[in-house]
Structure 1
Amino acid sequence: MRPKSFDPTGLVVRHYNSAGRVREYDFATLPVAEPMQRSLAVLFAARCVAHTWSVHASSSLYWRQIQAFAVFVSGRLRAPRDLDEVTAGLIEAWHDAVVTEDGGFTLFTFVTRLLRDDVRLQSGPVADALARRLPRLRSRTQSFSEAEFDQITAAARREFRSALARIERNAAHLHRWRSGDFTIGGEEWLLGQALDVEARTGYALSGHPGTGRAGPAGRTAVPAWDRLFLSRLEATALGVLLLAQFGWNLSVIDQAVVPRASPDPGLDGQPTYRIPVQKRREGAGRYFETRNVTDDGAGTPGRLITQALAATRFARAIVADLSPGTELLIVWRTQMVGRERSDNDRHPPVGLLRFGIHRDAGKDWAQAHGLGGSPFRRGRRTVNAVERREPGQNSRDTHDRHYALVDKRVQADAVSVIAAGAKAATALARRTVAAAVRAAPDPHAATTATVDCADFTNSPYSSAGSGCTASFLMCLGCSNARIHPGHHSRLAHLHEALGNLRSVLDPRSWEVEWGDAYARLDHLQTVLGGQTWAAARTRVSDADRDLIADLLNGDLNT
Structure 2
Amino acid sequence: MPETDWTPPSRIDESGLRVTVTNEGTTHSVVVDLTALPGSPELRRELANALATKTGPTGTWKRVAVVENIAWCLETFTAHLAENGIVSIAALTPGAWNAYRLHLDERFAPKTATHILSKVVGLLRVSPLLPDAMAPALRMRQYHNFKTDPQPTYKVEDFEAIQKAAQHAVHAAARRITANSALLAKQGDPSLSPEQAQRAAALQTLLDNDGYLHSRSNLDVFAALGATTQYPNVIRGKTYMKASGLITEARAALFLTPAEATACAALLICHEGYNYSVVHNLTVPDRAATAADTQDAYRTPTDKPRRGKAGRHQTDILVDDGEESVGRAIRWIREATEPARRYLADRGTPTDRLLLYWPQRSLGPASGIPDYVRDTARTWWPEGVPKPGNWAMLHRTHVTRIRRRPEHHSRRTFVNEYLLLDQAAREEANGVIRQGLESALRPAVSRLAIRIVPSDTDVPEDSDTAVASCADYDHHPRTGVRCDESFLMCLRCDNAKAGPRHVKRIVLLHDALANLRSAIDSETWEERFQGHYLDLVAFLRNKLTEDEIGEARRQGTDEDRRIIEALLRGEYDRR
TM-score by length of 1: 0.62
Kindly indicate whether residue 158 of structure 2 is the aligned counterpart of residue 152 of structure 1. no
| Pairing 1:78-117 to 2, within 5 Å after superposition | 79-100=85-106, 101-102=108-109, 103-117=112-126
| Aligned match for 2:82, one of 54, 74, 78 | 74
Q: What letter matches 1:374 in structure 2? A: G
Letter in 2 for 1:114: L
Change (3 A) 1:99 1:235: same
The answer to whether the 8 Å contact 1:83/1:120 transfers is: yes
Identity of aligned residues (%): 24
1:397-445 alpha-carbon deviations (Å, 9 max, x no partner): 4443333322323323323454576689899x9xxxxxxxxxxxxxxx9
Give the C-alpha shift of residue 252 in structure 1: 1.8
Tell me which amino acid in the other structure corresponds to 2:366.
R
Residue of structure 1 in register with 2:494 after alignment? 465
Call closer, same or farther: CA 1:201–1:122 in 2, change over 3 Å: same
Contact 2:166 2:263 in 1 (8 A): yes
Flag the 1:99–1:261 CA change in 2: closer, same or farther, 3 A.
same
Question: What is the deviation of 1:138?
Answer: 1.9
Deviates more, 1:202-211 or 1:60-69: 202-211
Provide the residue aligned with 1:190 in structure 2: 198
| Counterpart contact for 1:6–1:14, Cα < 8 Å | yes
* CA distance in structure 1 between the partners assigned to 2:14 and 2:205 by the alignment: 49
The residue type equivalent to 2:425 in the other structure is: V
Superimposed CA distance per residue, residues 202-236 of structure 1 (whole angstroms, 9 cap, x where no aligned partner): 97896769954289xxx977546533432221121
Aligned to 1:131: 139
In the comparison of the two structures, how many residue pairs are matched?
A: 428
The unaligned stretches of length 5 or more in structure 2 are 1-6, 228-249, 445-475, 497-526, 529-575
Residue pair 1:283, 1:395 contacting (<8 A) in 2 also: no
Give, in angstroms, the shift of residue 242 of structure 1.
0.4
Matched, 1:232 2:244: no
Q: Does 1:360 align with 2:369?
A: no
Distance 1:3 1:455, change over 3 A: same
Aligned equivalents of 1:360 and 1:330: distance in 2? 16
| Per-residue Cα deviation, 1:449-468 (whole angstroms, up to 9, x for no partner) | xxxxx999x999x963389x
Is 2:303 the partner of 1:303?
no
Q: Which one is further off, 205-214 or 303-312?
A: 205-214
- Report if aligned partners of 2:50, 2:124 keep a CA contact under 8 Å in 1: yes
Kindly provide the amino acid, as one letter, of the partner of residue 55 in structure 2: C
Residues 1:413 and 1:84: Cα distance change in structure 2 (over 3 Å) = same
Distance 1:323 1:220, change over 3 A: closer
Residues 105-134 of structure 1: per-residue CA shift (max 9 Å, x gap):
11233324433556776555x554433324
What is the distance in 2 between the residues matched to 1:425 and 1:336? 65
Provide the rounded CA distance (Å) in 1 between the counterparts of 2:180 and 2:90.
Answer: 68
How far off its partner does 1:292 sit? 0.9
- Residue pairs, 1:489-508, within 5 angstroms: none
Shift in Å, 1:269: 1.4
Aligned amino acid, residue 465 of structure 1: D
2:236 is matched with which residue?
A: none
The 8 Å contact of residues 153 and 244 in structure 1, kept in 2 or not, is answered as: yes
Structure 2 match to 1:541 = none
Q: Aligned residue for 1:2? A: 8
* Structure having the higher Rg: 1
2:466 is aligned to none
RMSD: 4.7
Closer/same/farther in 2, CA of residues 164 and 45 from structure 1, 3 Å limit: closer
Residue in structure 1 matched with residue 424 of structure 2 by the alignment: 409
TM-score (norm 2): 0.61
Instruction: Select which of 50, 55, 62 maps to 1:48.
Output: 55
Query: Are the structure 2 counterparts of residues 330 and 464 from structure 1 closer, same or farther at C-alpha, using a change threshold of 3 Å?
Result: same
CA displacement, residues 306-333 of structure 1 (integer Å, 9 cap, x when unaligned): 2223333444444454457523222334
Work out the CA distance in 2 between the residues paired with 1:463 and 1:297: 64
Q: Secondary structure of the residue that 1:292 maps to in structure 2?
A: strand
Map 1:361-440; keep pairs closer than 5 Å.
361-366=373-378, 369=381, 371-391=386-406, 394-418=409-433
The answer to whether the 8 Å contact 2:174/2:336 transfers is yes
Distance in structure 2 (CA, Å) of the matches to 1:27 and 1:336: 27
- Alignment partner for residue 162 of structure 1, among 163, 166, 172? 172
What is aligned with 1:285?
310
State whether structure 2 residue 278 is matched by structure 1 residue 252.
Answer: yes
User: Does the aligned pair in 2 maintain the 1:201–1:318 contact within 8 Å?
Assistant: no
* Counterpart-to-counterpart distance in 1, 2:122 and 2:258: 39
TM-fit CA distance, 1:35:
4.7
1:213 matched residue in structure 2: 220
Change (3 A) 1:174 1:39: closer
Q: Does the CA-based 8 Å contact 1:143-1:381 persist in structure 2?
A: yes
Task: Report the equivalent of 1:512.
Answer: none
Residues 90 and 131 in structure 2, CA contact (< 8 A), matched pair in contact too: no
Equivalent residue letter for 1:66: L
Contact 1:202/1:225, CA 8 A, preserved across alignment: no
Equivalents in 1 of 2:68, 2:269: separation in Å? 27
